[in-house]
Amino acid sequence: MSRARPSQPVKRPPPAALKAPGGARAVAPARADATRERLMAATHELLVERAGADVSVGDICARAGVNVAMVKYCFGSKDGLLQELLDRITAGFAQDVSRLDEQELDAEEKLRLHVAAIVNGYVRYPYLNRLINTQLLASDAKVVKRLSRHYAQPMRAWHERMLSEGARDGTLRKVDPTFFFFTVIGMAEFFFTAQPIMRQAFAGRDLDESTVTRFIDHTVEVLLHGIGRRASAR
Amino acid sequence: MSRARPSQPVKRPPPAALKAPGGARAVAPARADATRERLMAATHELLVERAGADVSVGDICARAGVNVAMVKYCFGSKDGLLQELLDRITAGFAQDVSRLDEQELDAEEKLRLHVAAIVNGYVRYPYLNRLINTQLLASDAKVVKRLSRHYAQPMRAWHERMLSEGARDGTLRKVDPTFFFFTVIGMAEFFFTAQPIMRQAFAGRDLDESTVTRFIDHTVEVLLHGIGRRASAR
């Protein structure tokens, strides 16, 4: 087993990277509240080290070097803190696709980069699938509304635009954009959620960089051939 | 919201169907233990009615009409009962693919039927994604071992065989069977886990039979074009 244990933190982007999911701050308070930011960064750091397993308010505050009362003061509760963390990450993903639009690429090429970015998101935030799944399974209306607004709706709208462009320029088949959203995220997400199976059932296939690269290639190929009009070259 | 509430059970296959996931009993005790079977059926029934939300030992035993001590006696614990339920369902899926082999079909056609069956499994056992995700997130070694043995390994082995056949007869591209396993399950599973988003973000797209049928068509098309060699006709 190669899971990160608290005693052996794996190398990941420093917590400061959280301020820039995809390059820019997703939710920027008018004036940076240093305590809020330290709590966000500490939570990110601990969740990475513990592979997404639960972290306590005490641990978060100890890591951030702030009083335990600050979580309640800044976020209302630990759930509020985790929700804010998820909001920032998912809003960053939605911003990533807007940035793709600024490039001179056709829809197919943008979708390729997008799929790779989605998979890399689960590598960068290895607690993301657990955070999203836990919240989806709880099915709390307010939480689902935030996930929808920050993430699902902008992402699906972008998918719809790409699919229309691709259909117009003749490279892509007609594909339902709502189903497509679930297909893209599901293909990426389950691979990470199912890592315990990967380690147990298919020994020797640990999640190193080369496996992630090959998984991205696989996912991009299956998906783009899946919605494309061209015959496969391979 | 159209989730099933305890007061409004949705119409599903009767619990007796559990004895035949995919048509045959997956784990058949030498002599049917009536109490065990009644507890299994009651748990299935309650999980369907409550859309996978937690059910208590008390509720299960009341529905089964047996003494509350019987869960411990028959399964060791509630977790043991849930594990047995999951074992039977997943072993049924693994059996389904063996049965596909008995048909005179090429690999591509078998894979089409297989993908539809996987999606329909999540419809038939609407608590399945929650049960699997909860167990994967807990990452308990024993549980993961059972999931691997009953489900992931036989399924991936069958995928590998289909992919090899398809590569030999020239219909399919060369695809990594381990990645393929995660792709197929992820495409089906996330759609069901993400239903709260579907209802919230994409209003009016409730999970009725026609939506499931269209989702199956979408998934089969994307996946089979994704791994196929033929140019798309559409």
List the Cα angle B83/B86/B87 in 5-degree steps: 85
Q: What is the 3-state secondary structure (H, E, C) of A83-121?
A: HHHHHHHHHHHHHHHHHHHCCCCCHHHHHHHHHHHHHHH
Higher pLDDT, B200 or A191: A191
B84 vs A233: which has the higher pLDDT: B84
Mean pLDDT for B102-118 is 93
As a whole number of angstroms, the distance between CA A84 and CA A75 comes to: 8
Tokens of A6: 């608290």
Chain B residues with beta carbon closer than 8 angstroms to that of A214 = 176, 179
Taking residues A211-218, report their average pLDDT: 94
pLDDT for position B161: 95
Residue A161: pLDDT above 90?
yes
Q: Which residues of A touch B201 (CB under 8 A)?
A: 147-149, 152-153, 156
Alpha carbon distance B132, B127 (integer Å): 9
Mean pLDDT of chain B: 83
**Structural tokens at position B169:** 């007869």
Task: pLDDT band for A3, please (50, 70, 90 cuts).
Answer: very low
Domain count, chain B: 1
The CATH code of the domain that includes B181 is: 1.10.357.10
Q: Does residue A141 register a pLDDT over 80? A: yes
pLDDT at position A2: 40
Q: Which among A133, A153, A200 has the least Cβ separation from residue B145?
A: A200
Q: Quote the pLDDT of residue B218.
A: 95
pLDDT on residue B120: 94
Q: What was the pLDDT predicted at A110?
A: 94
DSSP state of A12: -
Residue B91 confidence (pLDDT) above 60 = yes
Indicate whether A4 belongs to any domain.
no
pLDDT digits (tens, 9 = 90+) for A16-57: 445 444 344 444 454 448 899 999 999 999 999 987 788 999
Residue B7 lies in a domain: no
Residue A200 pLDDT level (bands cut at 50, 70, 90): confident
What is the residue whose two structure tokens read 């052996």? A8
Contact yes or no for B153 and A201 at CB 8 A: yes
- pLDDT one-digit tens code per residue, A70-104: 999 999 999 999 999 999 998 888 889 989 999 99
Residue A186 domain-assigned? yes
Taking 60 as the threshold, does the pLDDT of residue A13 lie above it?
no
Residue A87 in domain: yes
CA dist B108 → A178, A225, B98, B165 (Å): 26, 15, 15, 9
Q: Which residue has the higher pLDDT, A209 or B17?
A: A209
The tens digit of pLDDT for each residue in B39-60 reads 999 999 999 998 778 899 999 9
Position A12 scores a pLDDT of 45
| Residue B232 lies inside a defined structural domain of this protein | no
Whether B96 and B75 have beta carbons less than 8 Å apart is answered as no
Q: Which amino acid is residue B234, in one-letter code?
A: R
A226 vs B222: CB contact, 8 Å cut-off?
Answer: yes
Beta-bridged to residue A8, according to DSSP, are A5
Interface confidence: ipTM more than 0.90? no
Q: Kindly state the average pLDDT of the residues B151-174.
A: 92
B128 HSE (CA, 13 A, CB side): 27
On the question of pLDDT at B26 being above 60, the answer is no
3-state secondary structure chain B: CCCCECCECCCCCCHHHHHCHHHCCCCCCCCCCHHHHHHHHHHHHHHHHCCCCCCCHHHHHHHHCCCCHHHHHHHCCHHHHHHHHHHHHHHHHHHHHHHHHCCCCCHHHHHHHHHHHHHHHHHHCCCHHHHHHHHHHHCCHHHHHHHHHHHHHHHHHHHHHHHHHHHHCCCECCCCHHHHHHHHHHHHHHHHHCHHHHHHHCCCCCCCHHHHHHHHHHHHHHHHHHHECCCCCC
Residue A9 lies in a domain: no
Calculate mean pLDDT across residues B131-154: 85
Q: What is the pLDDT of residue B117?
A: 94
Work out the minimum CA distance from B231 to partner chain A, whole angstroms: 4
Q: Which residue has the higher pLDDT, A178 or A4?
A: A178
Question: Mind telling me how many Å the CA of A31 is from chain B's nearest CA?
Answer: 31
pLDDT at A14 over 50: no
Q: For A193, which of B136, B219, B225 is closest by C-beta distance? A: B136
Nearest alpha carbon to residue A214 among B187, B147, B174: B174
Residue B108 or A15, more confident: B108
The domain of B69 spans: 15-227
Beta-carbon contacts of A105 under 8 Å, excluding residues fewer than 6 positions away, are: A113
Report if residue B150 sits inside a domain. Answer: yes
Name the band, by pLDDT with cuts 50, 70 and 90, for residue A134. confident
CB atoms near residue B189 (< 10 Å): 25
Q: Which residues of A touch B54 (CB under 8 A)?
A: none
The per-residue pLDDT for B231 is 54
| SS3 at position A8 | strand
Q: What is the DSSP string of A180-221?
A: HHHHHHHHHHHHHHTHHHHHHHSTT----HHHHHHHHHHHHH
Percent share of chain B, pLDDT over 70: 82
Instruction: Name the pLDDT band for B222 (thresholds 50, 70, 90).
Output: very high
User: Mean pLDDT across chain A, nearest whole number?
Assistant: 83
B residues 191-210 near A, CB within 8 Å? 191, 193-194, 196-202, 205
**Closest C-alpha among B224, B72, B208 to residue A225:** B224
Whether A68 is covered by a domain: the verdict is yes
pTM given for the model: 0.83
B12: pLDDT strictly greater than 60: no
